[in-house]
Amino acid sequence: MAESKEIKAKDKKEIATPGEQIKPGPIFAPEVDIFENEHEIVMLADLPGVKTSDLNIDLRDDTLTIMGDVNAAKPQNEDDIVVEYEVGHYLRQFTLSEVIDQSRIEAKLEDGVLRLTLPKVEKATPRKITVNA
Amino acid sequence: MMIRRMFDFPDVSLRRQMEDFDRLRRQLDVLNGRFMGSGDLQRTGVFPLINLSENKDAYFVRAELPGVKANELDIQATGNSMSISGERHIPEENGSAKYHRREREAGKFSRMISLSNEIDPEHVEAKMENGILTITLPKAEKAKPRQVTVK
């Protein structure tokens, strides 16, 4: 990669959920990268503050839901001086157009980044049928 | 922070009062939802966005830096300021990958934070956990509030 650019500060995108949430706090849509190759669809999502145990990934029919809970890291005895970003939960949903092999889905959460690998169902290998005369 | 600097009186006791006043006003602004134009957040527009808090012993700086490794960060502290700089890498995927979305950003960042009190640069600690950076900046002895007993 050539000379890298500077990252711009962005506010998190707050989303409204259809139902009312039981847990208090705002809900944000995490930023994602999605790409595919012939075998799989890979999704990378930024989920800072989410622990493995607080991450929920759900694939039902063709709807993929990523849900991450963030438990406030700030102890009670601290006073805020500057607040530039809000802490909240993460939620994002996608509709998949490919058929996914559910048994081989892989998810890895490292340094606040989720890498989700969704293998496509292998198409039946074309079989050549020889016609006997 | 800008407002605080404007009211940066040399008189310590007065400054303390101004801080309390600032805090009250900030809370009112939050209630009115009109701090710095829109929403209730203070925006400087410099990455990474930080949250700064304090208790009587230390300042705490937190920033969300998902995917940034501890060794890609450079944190420096002096008497009453600190800087965070580094670079976020997003590894290239192999050539056959066809991108549908690319929302995550890679690149360099650098940020200075000035504090209203002296800190002890020798004992600054930084920790990366689940993509969140937490820096603990102990206040210098002379900057800590002192309990005064009344005889």
* Chain centroid, CA B68 distance in Å: 17
Same domain, B9 and B72: no
Domain that holds residue B124: 45-91+105-144
Tens of pLDDT, residues A72-122: 656 778 888 888 998 889 999 999 888 888 889 999 999 999 999 999 987
> Are the Cβ atoms of B66 and A113 closer than 8 angstroms?
yes
Same domain, B4 and B77: no
Across chain A, what does the average pLDDT equal?
86
Structure tokens at A7: 């990252």
Task: Give the residue extent of every domain in chain A.
Answer: 27-73+83-119
Same domain, B116 and B133: yes
Structural domains of chain B, count: 2
**Distance between CA atoms of residues B109 and A104, nearest Å:** 37
Which ipTM was obtained for this model? 0.81
More confident residue, B17 or A79: A79
Same domain, B6 and B27: yes
Q: Do residues B59 and B139 make contact, with C-beta atoms less than 8 angstroms apart? A: yes
- Scan residues 56-115 of A and list those with Cβ closer than 8 Å to B: 73-74, 77-87, 111-113
Same domain, B10 and B36: yes
Structure tokens at B77: 């502290």
Among A37-41, B42-46, B49-53, B143-147, the range scoring the smallest mean pLDDT is B42-46
> Are the Cβ atoms of B47 and A4 closer than 8 angstroms?
no
Q: What percent of chain A clears pLDDT 90, i.e. is strictly above it?
A: 44
> Are the Cβ atoms of A48 and B130 closer than 8 angstroms?
yes
Same domain, B112 and B135: yes
Same domain, B79 and B132: yes
Same domain, B56 and B109: yes
Please check whether residue B73 lies inside any domain of the structure: yes
**DSSP assignments along B23-89, one per residue:** HHHHHHHHHHTBTTSSBS-----BSSPEEEEE-SSEEEEEEE-TT--GGGEEEEE-SSEEEEEEEE-
| Model pTM score | 0.75
Counted across chains A and B, CB pairs separated by less than 8 A come out at 149
A27-73+83-119: which CATH number, 3.40.190.10, 3.30.70.20, 2.60.40.790, 3.30.160.100?
A: 2.60.40.790
Residues of B in contact with A55 (CB under 8 A): none
* Chain centroid, CA A27 distance in Å: 14
> Are the Cβ atoms of A113 and B102 closer than 8 angstroms?
no
